[in-house]
Structures are given as C-alpha cells and as structure tokens.
Amino acid sequence: MNHSLPDELLSGRRPAVAVLCATRVDTGRWFIRSRVRVAVTDEELILFAPGPEPYVQRIRFADLGESLYNHVTGSLVLAPARDVRVRSLRMPPVEARQILTRIVDQASGLPDRAGGTPAPRSSALLNSEDPGHA
C-alpha cells in the first residue's frame, strides 16, 4: 500500500477538514474496495482512496456550488461537478456540514466561517488503512 499518497497530494499542506467516508471505490484490489478519504484545502476538495490503482480526484470549489447533504441517504452530494467519478460521499452530517461550509464560502468568495483550524485527527485519518484490510 502507498501510505505516502496523502502527503504527495497535499504538498505539505494540512487540510482544514479531513474525513474518512463510508463510500468505497475500486482501486485494483480483488474483492475489497477502498474507502474514500476527503481532504479540504484552501483551494480545492481532494478525494482519494489508496490501493494498487489509487483513486485521486481534485475538484475546484467553483465546481461544487450546488452541493448538498442528503439526510435520507446520509450522503454529501457533489454538484454540479460533472467529471467526477464519485458524486456522493456517505458521511455523518457534522463532517458534511464542515465541508459544505467550506464549499459555500470558497465558491462565493466569502470569508472563512469554518475556523481555519486543521482537523486534529486529519493526518491519522488520511494515512490510515481500512480496518481489517492489510
């Protein structure tokens, strides 16, 4: 497994918000799909999942202005981003609200309401493997 993937993607920056989602994607493992990690930087939303063929997607905030949280499915829906492989991310509402606040503020050019303090567990979340999957 490539544990340095998040460091390469983040270029040494600490994410303002980091979430390990319940959403899984195919990353080249036989029968195991990898969980998607979400990192929010000052410029973009980064989705990634480690594996032999890692999944990486960078999305500009300007492309996410219609995003919303679907409380029925428990998913953050990324919209109108059209060229994104994963458009729905299953996560708790608290994390989704943090991400949506960043998206709205950055897409509209408003000052940062989310606090700007990096998530305390962000590097542990971003570098963690799926429990029980070596």
Q: What is the CATH number of the domain that holds 49?
A: 2.30.29
Has residue 133 got a pLDDT over 50?
Answer: no
pLDDT on residue 6: 62
- pLDDT above 70 covers a percentage of the chain that reads 75
Classify residue 132: in a domain, yes or no. Answer: no
Structure pTM? 0.77
Classify residue 119: in a domain, yes or no. Answer: yes
Residue with tokens 């919303």: 68
Has residue 131 got a pLDDT over 90?
Answer: no
Q: How many domains does the chain have?
A: 1
Per-residue pLDDT of 37-57, as tens digits, reads: 999 988 899 999 999 999 999
pLDDT on residue 49: 94
Phi-psi region of 116 (alpha: psi -120 to 50; beta: other; left: phi over 0): left
Q: Nearest Cα to 55, choosing from 86, 14, 77?
A: 86
* CA dist., res. 128 & res. 24, Å (int): 14
What domain range is 71 assigned to?
A: 5-127
* CA dist., res. 80 & res. 67, Å (int): 7
Classify residue 134: in a domain, yes or no. Answer: no
